[in-house]
């Protein structure tokens, strides 16, 4: 029973700020859709490791630097990530780096 | 693993909010209501087809809003993928390695999975009729029906002919049949593959198949050959395939395009013979016909196909341009310049799922992003790729030019080997992303 009350209290508080949550959700949904395509090779939420490295939980700065290096053709022996990264703006690559850095592997 | 751990804080807080609202509504409901059952406000989504597009849509709908009531309709309990089925034909993988099930969707994502066939869709009453007698009501419908063979579009090629000269373009029994024929073939025979005109499922598929069967011949039937008779003059990654064939197989693979009289006009499956447009007869020891195709039949029933037999969609949401509240993804759609591939279907399904979640929550649909990579294996350790990022500009799907391209023709064998490793890595990852299984 105390758990239900806590949940209800949380629900009431959350409902009061529902518009703030809704806009956060919209921008978050946008980032998640941007990032969802990466799962095709890196697993859901970028967590799958193997021949293709996992990207979840790596520092944002490391991911961003690597993505920009791919985009600028500075990664020797790159296969497809040089092509894929050129499909995004630097800002989008930054968002992706931040998104995956926040996911615990 | 809890779902919440898959997402950073912002998503968690929204999920907590939805959960809290769900808990509150429980108090006003007479018992027997499971925590996972959604209130009428969250929305009912029915997904037809459990392949690359449909299974992805079901999972990402639940990831987007766990309170949605999502039902997946798929006749098969085990789905065999076309990607990597060419490795089975080459004797490199058992069928079990390309089989996937629906346990994760059912148990981890609370998707209701019904193994039945969808027989009809009524867009007016928003209902789907199944062959088990039941009817499902939807607020939003996702169709991922894949392809259907256009029987008799190629003279002499009907269902009976496919038992003698398999297409193996829908993985499963057909794949097993073609593999058995290849195994039983005497050394010294010719394997003929008849490739169709555009558009068709998996543009590089016929050429990967020819490569891997040549690999099998080189190892086990060294006097045998591969002949590709093509209804086109150009095909996907043509330069890389041609170069790799020469490097790996010398004269073993011969390709004859449209202008060289390569277009097959008639099939005699009993004699395993084909006749080209100009009447040239070719006799095969094993005959594989990749026939002309169209969208899977439920798309016709739903009224979403156009005169081409494929489904035009709004690229922002992959909603049908002809019927409201029906989203269609994957091979069935007109989505050029995206190819008809499992990878395309997966990213289209994520766009459709995000659009549906947003619409049912009364939010604007997010800006769509699509990616495709088609890997092809010329041998188990020789991989090539074509990749691009796609976006919507002025209402049209376009490839971002800078991203669009194939593997370097100058790359050495180390790179080809690396791309073969990445091909396997891709298959493991997309399988995990869709069905939760690492094949």
Note the pTM of the prediction, 2 decimals: 0.89
Mean pLDDT of chain B: 92
Domains B36-148+294-435 and B167-291 share a fold: yes
CATH of domain B167-291: 3.50.50.60
Average pLDDT over residues A2-31: 58
CA distances from B347 to B110, B246, B329 (A): 21, 34, 9
Partner-chain contact A87 B432, CB within 8 Å: no
- Rounded Cα distance between B143 and B128, Å, is 11
- What architecture is domain A37-105? Orthogonal Bundle (1.10)
What's the complex ipTM? Answer: 0.87
* CB count in 10 Å sphere of residue B387: 23
> Does B367 touch chain A if contact means CB atoms closer than 8 Å?
yes
β B281-283/B311-314 pair status: unpaired
Q: Do the Cβ atoms of B294 and B147 come closer than 8 Å?
A: yes
B350 interaction partners in chain A (CB closer than 8 Å): 33, 36-37
The predicted pLDDT at position A6 comes to 43
Q: Where are the beta strands (DSSP E) in B257-369?
A: 264-268, 273-276, 281-283, 286-289, 293-295, 311-314, 319-320, 326-328, 333-334
Q: How far is B42 from chain A (nearest CA, A)?
A: 15
- Among B265, B291, B302, smallest CA distance to B123 is for B302
> Does A51 touch chain B if contact means CB atoms closer than 8 Å?
yes
Q: Do the Cβ atoms of B226 and B245 come closer than 8 Å?
A: no
pLDDT at B355 over 50: yes
Partner-chain contact B17 A80, CB within 8 Å: no
- Rounded Cα distance between B99 and A2, Å, is 46
Tokens, residue B352: 């459709």
* Angle of CA points A58, A61, A62, to nearest 5°: 55
- Taking only the tens place, the pLDDT of each residue in A64-79 is 999 999 999 999 999 9
A103 interaction partners in chain B (CB closer than 8 Å): 6-8
Domain ranges of chain B: 36-148+294-435, 167-291
pLDDT at B195 over 60: yes
Q: Do the Cβ atoms of B398 and B391 come closer than 8 Å?
A: yes
Tokens, residue A59: 């520092």
b/e B405-428 (16+ beta carbons within 10 angstroms → b): bbbeeeeeeebbebbbebbbbbbb
Which one-letter DSSP state was computed for residue B369? -
Q: Do the Cβ atoms of B439 and B95 come closer than 8 Å?
A: no
DSSP H or E run through B420: helix B413-435
Domain B36-148+294-435 listed as CATH 3.50.50.60: yes
> Does B354 touch chain A if contact means CB atoms closer than 8 Å?
yes
B20 interaction partners in chain A (CB closer than 8 Å): 7-8, 10-11, 14
- Taking only the tens place, the pLDDT of each residue in B248-306 is 999 999 999 999 999 999 999 999 999 999 999 999 999 999 999 999 999 999 999 99
- Taking only the tens place, the pLDDT of each residue in B60-119 is 999 999 999 999 999 999 999 999 999 999 999 999 999 999 999 999 999 999 999 999
The predicted pLDDT at position A84 comes to 98
**Of B19, B370, B426, Cβ closest to residue A37:** B370
β B127-130/B118-122 pair status: antiparallel
Domain ranges of chain A: 1-36, 37-105
Average pLDDT over residues B24-40: 38
- Taking only the tens place, the pLDDT of each residue in B144-158 is 999 999 999 999 999
Tokens, residue A46: 């970028």
- Rounded Cα distance between B388 and B402, Å, is 8
Q: How far is CA B44 from the centre of its chain?
A: 25
- Rounded Cα distance between B305 and B323, Å, is 10
pLDDT at A24 over 80: no
Partner-chain contact B347 A40, CB within 8 Å: yes
Q: How far is CA B183 from the centre of its chain?
A: 27
Average pLDDT over residues B238-249: 98
> Does B64 touch chain A if contact means CB atoms closer than 8 Å?
yes
């Amino acid at each position: 029973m105390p758990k239900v009350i806590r949940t209800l209290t949380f629900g009431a508080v959350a409902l009061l700020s529902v518009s703030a949550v809704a806009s956060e959700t919209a921008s978050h949904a946008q980032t998640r859709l941007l990032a969802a395509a990466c799962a095709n090779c890196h697993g859901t939420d970028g967590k799958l490791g193997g021949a293709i490295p996992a990207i979840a939980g790596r520092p944002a700065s490391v991911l961003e630097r690597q993505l920009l290096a791919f985009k600028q053709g500075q990664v020797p022996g790159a296969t497809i990530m040089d092509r894929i990264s050129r499909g995004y703006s630097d800002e989008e690559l930054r968002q992706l780096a931040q998104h995956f850095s926040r996911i615990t592997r | 693993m809890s779902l919440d751990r898959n997402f950073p804080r912002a998503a968690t807080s929204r999920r907590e909010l939805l959960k809290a609202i769900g808990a509150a509504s429980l108090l006003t409901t007479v018992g027997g209501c499971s925590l996972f059952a959604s209130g009428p406000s969250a929305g009912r989504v029915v997904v037809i087809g459990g392949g690359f597009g449909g299974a992805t849509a079901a999972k990402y709908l639940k990831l987007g809003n766990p309170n949605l009531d999502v039902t997946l309709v798929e006749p098969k309990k085990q789905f065999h993928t076309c990607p990597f089925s060419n490795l089975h034909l080459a004797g490199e993988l058992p069928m079990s390695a390309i089989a996937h099930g629906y346990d994760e969707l059912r148990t981890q994502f609370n998707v209701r999975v019904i193994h039945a066939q969808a027989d009809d869709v009524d867009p007016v009453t928003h209902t789907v009729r199944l062959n088990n007698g039941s009817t499902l009501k939807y607020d939003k419908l996702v169709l991922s029906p894949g392809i259907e063979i256009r029987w008799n579009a190629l003279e002499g090629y009907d269902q009976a002919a496919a038992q003698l000269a398999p297409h193996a373009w829908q993985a499963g029994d057909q794949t097993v049949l073609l593999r058995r024929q290849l195994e039983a073939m005497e050394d010294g025979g010719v394997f003929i593959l008849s490739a169709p005109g555009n558009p068709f499922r998996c543009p590089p598929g016929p050429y990967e198949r020819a490569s891997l069967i040549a690999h099998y011949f080189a190892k086990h039937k060294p006097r045998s050959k591969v002949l590709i008779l093509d209804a086109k003059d150009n095909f996907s990654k043509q330069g890389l395939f041609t170069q790799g064939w020469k490097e790996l197989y010398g004269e073993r693979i011969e390709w004859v395009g449209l202008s060289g009289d390569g277009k097959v006009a008639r099939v005699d499956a009993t004699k395993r013979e084909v006749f080209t447009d100009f009447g040239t007869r070719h006799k095969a020891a094993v005959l594989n016909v990749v026939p002309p195709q169209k969208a899977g039949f439920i798309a016709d029933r739903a009224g979403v196909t156009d005169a081409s037999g494929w489904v035009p969609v709004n690229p922002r949401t992959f909603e049908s341009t002809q019927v409201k509240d029906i989203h269609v993804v994957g091979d069935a759609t007109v989505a050029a310049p995206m190819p008809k591939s499992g990878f395309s279907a997966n990213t289209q399904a994520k766009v459709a799922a995000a659009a549906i979640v947003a619409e049912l929550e009364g939010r604007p649909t997010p800006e769509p992003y699509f990616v495709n990579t088609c890997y092809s294996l010329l041998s188990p350790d020789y991989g090539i790729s074509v990749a691009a990022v796609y976006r919507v500009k002025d209402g049209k799907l376009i490839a971002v030019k800078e991203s669009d391209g194939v593997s370097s023709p100058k790359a050495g064998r180390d790179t080809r080997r690396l791309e073969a490793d990445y091909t396997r890595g891709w298959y493991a990852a997309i399988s995990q992303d869709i069905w939760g299984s690492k094949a």
